[in-house]
């Protein structure tokens, strides 16, 4: 491939913006609801707020809160909104980060430093259910921790298996609310009991659920305890750029106390340009990600989130009914926006490939082999179309049987 050359002279923005639009022509038609992964589409009203609010602070830098008290205030507000939604009591604290991976990495770092401050040394480990996100493996890789994955029970974290896998070198146990593969909320109350009994740091990964589950509960769903209401939860991750419908590059990481949050902070004093203190992994933090999050949350408010998430629930229920009618088994009892389903008589990868031919970009699971949707409000209006295309895929997938699943990432 020839390497692109920086043009000698610049081009007019009108030309460039036209070229950029053209470049996007072959991208998945997510605005039409064809993507059920990567993009959370809450509609044009939210998209407009995201863009305009991002642009207002696109040049500002969250690295300098003294220079930008605006961003400091917006981050403080966003963190406060999240803490309240997740039932954190007075004294809990948190920060905005660039995404779920960043939030998880910082929580693991805080847990590790907390354990070290209490005398832990040598090869430390984290214990997590098989369904927890690979971001924990990434954190463990960076910090040279051992990862102990435990088997699931009915697709959920098994507290007994987690208990058995821990030892005096364990710095963290994990539950998801929900996990990505199945969209199911782990038994956080039982994990919390375990954490209290064994004096362990429990992290709840609510990257997907943190900004949908509270509102789905307000809408009347019977959800198990999954947040700081469980007394053994030490930290949580909750992504604004997922079901918070904020611009990308925005997540939150929360701690039960300021003392625990302090373990996350990075500080170097001995450096020619003075001291450097950052709360999270990033140095420069895009002001736009902070301002867009603040704007979207205030734009939607509780009523707006309840309405948008009500549409997600309606879409999920319609998908569940539709796929069951076609002979699929829905994995577990999902209550939020992710649903996975498998069919004994159909190869999931072959179906996925056929659906891709019809413009659908969605995910798959491998245990068992099945299809996976992460639904947004926009999907409520396209469920019938999805199911029609699924009928077509089931009728025509024979030629794709045995094919590898399409790869969108990496």
Residues near ligand PLP, by CB under 6 A: 99-101, 133, 135, 176, 179-180, 205, 207-208, 239, 251
Q: Which is nearer to ligand PLP, 39 or 218 (CB)?
A: 39
Q: Which is nearer to ligand PLP, 152 or 350 (CB)?
A: 152
* Dist CA 250 CA 49 (whole Å): 15
Smallest separation (angstroms) from ligand PLP to the CB of 181: 9
Query: Minimum distance between the CB of residue 384 and ligand PLP, rounded to whole angstroms?
Result: 27
- Report the nearest approach of ligand PLP to the CB of residue 86 (Å): 15
By beta-carbon proximity to ligand PLP, the closer residue of 176 and 192 is 176
Q: Cβ 290 to ligand PLP, closest distance in Å?
A: 16
Distance CA 362, CA 389 (A): 13
Whichever of 208 and 393 has its CB closer to ligand PLP, that residue is: 208
CA distance linking residue 96 with residue 78, whole number of Å: 8
Alpha helices in 148-236 (DSSP H): 159-165, 188-198, 213-218
Q: Which CB atom, from 39 or from 120, has the smaller least distance to ligand PLP?
A: 39
**What distance in Å separates the CA atoms of residue 122 and residue 76, rounded to the nearest whole number?**
37
The whole-angstrom separation of Cα 389 and Cα 408 is 20
Cβ of residue 305: shortest distance to ligand PLP, in angstroms?
19
| CA-to-CA dists, residue 162 to 42, 138, 203, angstroms | 37, 20, 13
Using Cβ positions, the residue closest to ligand PLP within the complex turns out to be 100
Which one, 203 or 256, has the nearer CB to ligand PLP? 203
The conformation of residue 265, written as its DSSP 8-state character, comes to -
Least distance CB 127 / ligand PLP (angstroms):
17
Cβ neighbors of 364 (< 8 A, separation 6 or more) are 348, 349, 352, 370, 371, 372, 405
């Amino acid at each position: 491939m020839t390497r692109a050359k920086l043009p000698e002279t610049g081009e007019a923005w009108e030309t460039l913006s036209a070229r950029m639009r053209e470049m996007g022509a072959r991208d998945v038609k997510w605005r039409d609801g064809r993507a059920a992964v990567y993009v959370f589409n809450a509609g044009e009203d939210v998209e407009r707020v995201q863009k305009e609010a991002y642009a207002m602070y696109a040049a500002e830098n969250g690295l300098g809160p003294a220079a930008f008290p605006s961003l400091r205030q917006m981050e403080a507000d966003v963190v406060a909104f999240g803490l309240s939604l997740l039932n954190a009591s007075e004294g809990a604290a948190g920060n905005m980060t660039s995404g779920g991976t960043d939030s998880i990495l910082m929580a693991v770092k805080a847990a590790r430093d907390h354990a070290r401050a209490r005398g832990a040394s040598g090869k430390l480990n984290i214990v997590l259910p098989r369904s927890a996100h690979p971001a924990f493996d990434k954190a463990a890789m960076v910090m040279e921790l051992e990862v102990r994955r435990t088997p699931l029970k009915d697709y959920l974290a098994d507290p007994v298996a987690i208990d058995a896998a821990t030892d005096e070198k364990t710095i963290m146990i994990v539950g998801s609310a929900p996990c990505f593969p199945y969209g199911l909320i782990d038994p956080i109350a039982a994990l919390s009991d375990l954490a209290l009994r064994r004096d362990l740091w429990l992290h709840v990964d609510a990257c997907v659920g943190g900004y949908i589950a509270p509102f789905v509960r307000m809408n009347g769903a019977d959800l198990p305890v999954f947040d700081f209401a469980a007394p053994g939860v030490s930290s949580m991750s909750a992504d604004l750029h997922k079901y918070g419908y904020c611009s990308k590059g925005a997540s939150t990481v929360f701690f039960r106390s300021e003392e625990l949050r302090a373990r996350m902070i990075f500080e170097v004093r001995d450096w020619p340009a003075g001291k450097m203190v950052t709360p999270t992994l990033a140095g420069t933090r895009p002001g736009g990600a902070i301002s867009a999050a603040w704007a979207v949350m205030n734009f939607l408010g509780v009523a707006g989130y309840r309405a948008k998430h009500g549409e997600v629930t309606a879409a999920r229920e319609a998908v569940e009914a539709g796929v069951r009618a076609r002979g699929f088994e829905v994995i577990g009892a999902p209550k939020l926006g992710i649903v996975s389903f498998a069919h004994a008589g159909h190869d999931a990868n072959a179906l996925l490939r056929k659906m891709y031919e019809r413009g659908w970009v969605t995910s798959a699971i491998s245990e068992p082999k099945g299809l996976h949707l992460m639904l947004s409000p926009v999907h409520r209006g396209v469920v019938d179309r999805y199911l029609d295309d699924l009928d077509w895929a089931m009728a025509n997938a024979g030629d794709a049987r045995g094919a590898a699943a399409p790869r969108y990432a990496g």
